[in-house]
Amino acid sequence: MMAARLAHKGSYVSIWSPATDVWLGEIRHWPRDDAELSETAFSGQLYIDWQKVPDVAAAGPEARDRYQRGLAAGALRKDGLNAVDKLDGHFGIASWDGAKQQLNLIADRVNYENIYYTASADRTVFASEYKALLALPDVEARVDPATLQRAIGAFRPDFNGSRLAGIRRVRYGHAACIDGSGARVSRYFTPDCRPRSGNLADFATELRNILVEQARAWLGHHDRIAITLSGGLDSAGLLGILRHTFPDKKIASYTIGHGSNDPEIIGARECAQTFSTEHHEFGFQPASLQSDLPKIVWLAEEFAAREEAILQYQVEGQILGREPVLMGGHGADMVFLGMPRYRLVNMAERLPLFRKPLTEIYQQTQSGAPPSSLLGRIGSALLYRGKAIQPPVLAGAGGPTRITDDSRIADVVSRRLGGFRPYHYHSAIYSLAPLEIAMPFLSNAMMNFALTVPNRMKIDLRSQKIVLREALRPFLPDRVSQRGKAIQRAKRTTELSDVLDGMAGDLLSKEQVRARGLIDPAYVSKIRRRPQNGIYAGDQLLRLWMLISAELWCRTFIDERGLPDGFSADDCLASEPPPIAVNE
C-alpha cells in the first residue's frame, strides 16, 4: 500500500524485517541483493572516489549503487551514529541498532533527501515521502497551519514539519532515534563558523583544488557528463572545471529560458561555445504551467520554490533517461553567501547605527513582515518601490511567520549552512530515472572548508562569493568570472499572467477559498486584482503563485490523501519544452 505511492521511484520493491516487529523497505531501479546487510535501508547517493575502486566504477550504475549502499550499511553496523557525519553525499537512512533495540532515521546534512515519520499508540511508521504515509488509513490528513504559514509566507520549509499535523520530518544533520519509549532527536552535524587566518590567494587555491579533485574522483569513469547551465557564475565555473579536468570528454549542457533574447540563454550559450559542449536550449511556455505545476507539487511535496522550480523541472526532465550523470551548482549561494539579501546582513554588521532598519528590511525580504522604524520603512519603499505585499495570515496559525534575525554574517553561516533551501524539487525529479548526481558545493569537504573561510572573503559591501570567483578565475574568461548573481525566473508577461489568472479562477474562487477556510477571501481577491498593464509582477506574482500552489497542495494531500489529482503517477515527468536551438 505504501510502496504503491512511491512507484515513481523505481520498479523494484523490497520489504524485510531485521528484528521482530521492525520492518524496512526500499524502492529502487534495480533489485536488492539478498547478500546486502539487512539492518539498513538507504535512499540517495554517496560521493565516492571511484579512482580507488576502478573495477566497481567500470561495472556500471547498478554495481556503483550497490557499493554505496554497502558502504553506508557497513559503517553504521560498525560505528552506529558515530559513522554518519563521515558519510559524504545526500541520503536518507533507516538503520536498526540491535544492541540498543533502536531504529535510527537519519537525514543528510542539507535535507536534500527526506525522511518523514508519524507515531500512533502502537507503532511508528516512516517513509521518504509523506504521500506514502497517507496511504495508511489511520494517518490523519490534516493541515498543520503553522508549517503551512511558514511555507506560504516566508517561502521556506519548516525542517521539523511536513505541512501535515502529526507528521514530522527528520531535520538536516539529525537522527530520530526511536525505541519502545518513543522518539528522541539527536544532532550529528552542527555548523560552526570558525575562520582561519590566511590570504585570499591561498583560500582560492584550496577551494580550486577541492573542486578539481571532486570532479576527477566522482566523474572520471564517465565518458559523457551533463551539466545544467545558466547565465551565472556557479554553473559556468563548474563547466570550466569539467573542461579543464577532462579536456577530451563529451560534455552536454542544458539550459532553459524564455527565448533566444533571454540573458540566461545568451550567457549559457556563450559558455557552451567557449567550452565546446553539446548544447541544448529549451524555451519555457507559460501554458505548460497548467499541467506541470500540479505534477511538481505532488512529486516534491513542496510548493514554495516559486517559478524557478518549474524551469528546473522541465529542463531536468530532458536529462533523465538521456544522460548517465549530471553536475549541478546547487548550494553555492548557501556556502559562499551568494544571495543579494546577505548584503543587508553584512551592512547591518558593518554599520551598527543602521543595524535596526537594515535588519528589518532583511526580515521583510525573508518573511514579508514590514519594517517598523522610519529608516526601515524608507529603505523598504526604495527596495520595493511601494509594492511590497505582506503574506496572508492563515486561520489557526497564530500570526505571520518571522525568521530569526541575523545581525552578523557569522550567524548566517552557522545557522543556514545546511537545510537545502530550494525545497527538494531537484531530488524528487532525479528519482524518476537512474541518474548519478554530482553537487560539489554540497559535499562535506566543501561545507567544512566554507566554515573556515573568513567572511570578508565571501562578501563585502559590493561583491559576493569573492573566494569562489577568485578560485574559478583560471578556468573562465574574464567577462564570465565577473558575472553577477543570476536567478532563473519565468519572464513576467501578459501570457504568464493570463495563465495564472485562469488557474486562480479554477482554484481560488471566493466560494472555494471560503470552503477551504484557511485564508481570508478578501486577501485572495486583493492579490488576484490585475494591474493596469495586465502583468502580475514582483510580490503580487509571488503571492498569487503561492496561493495557487497551496490550494493544489491542499487538494492533493488533504482532499486526495496524497494521490495525484488530475494526472497519473506514470505521467509525472514534465511537459517537454520546445527547443530553442541545439548546437553540436
Q: What is the model's pLDDT at position 302?
A: 82
Please check whether residue 496 is in contact with residue 286, taking contact to mean a CB–CB distance below 8 angstroms.
Answer: yes
The runs of H, that is alpha helices, within 385-456 are 409-416, 425-430, 444-450
Determine the pLDDT at residue 421.
Answer: 62
| pTM check: above 0.85 | yes
- Asked whether the beta carbons of 255 and 283 are under 8 A apart, the reply is no
pLDDT at 420 (0 to 100): 64
User: What is the Cα–Cα distance from 158 to 195, expressed in whole angstroms?
Assistant: 29
DSSP 40-57: EEEEEEE---GGG-HHHH
Neighbours of 53 (CB within 10 A): 16
pLDDT, position 319: 94
User: Cα separation of 67 and 70, whole Å?
Assistant: 5
Query: Which strand ranges, in their side-by-side order, compose the sheet holding 278-283?
Result: 436-438, 325-327, 224-228, 250-257, 278-283, 579-583
Q: How far apart are CA 12 and CA 29, in angstroms?
A: 6
pLDDT tens digits, 482-521: 776 666 778 899 999 999 999 999 999 999 999 999 999 9
Report, in angstroms and rounded to the nearest whole number, the Rg of the chain calculated over CA atoms.
Answer: 23
- Give the bridge partners for 281, in sequence order: 255, 581
| Contact criterion met (CB below 8 Å) for 3 and 27 | yes
Please give the angle made by the CA atoms of 91, 97 and 100, to the nearest 5 degrees: 140
Predicted local confidence at residue 584, as pLDDT: 41
Question: Do the Cβ atoms of 293 and 564 come closer than 8 Å?
Answer: no
Counting as low any pLDDT under 70, the low residues of the chain are: 304-305, 405-406, 419-424, 484-487, 581-584
**Surface-to-core class of residue 35, CB atoms within 10 Å of its CB (0-12 exposed, 13-18 middle, 19+ buried):** exposed
C-beta separation of 285 from 259 below 8 A = no
Render pLDDT for 386-415 as a digit per residue (tens, 0 to 9): 888 999 999 988 877 887 766 778 877 777
Return all residues near 518 (Cβ < 8 A) that are at least 6 apart: 143, 145, 148, 394, 395, 550, 554
Distance CA 63, CA 137 (A): 37
Closest by Cα among 368, 395, 373, 400 to 384:
368
C-alpha grid cell, residue 170: 527528520
Distance, in Å, from the CA atom of 211 to the CA atom of 472, rounded to the nearest integer, reads 9
Per-residue pLDDT of 177-222, as tens digits, reads: 999 888 999 999 988 888 999 999 999 999 999 999 999 999 999 9
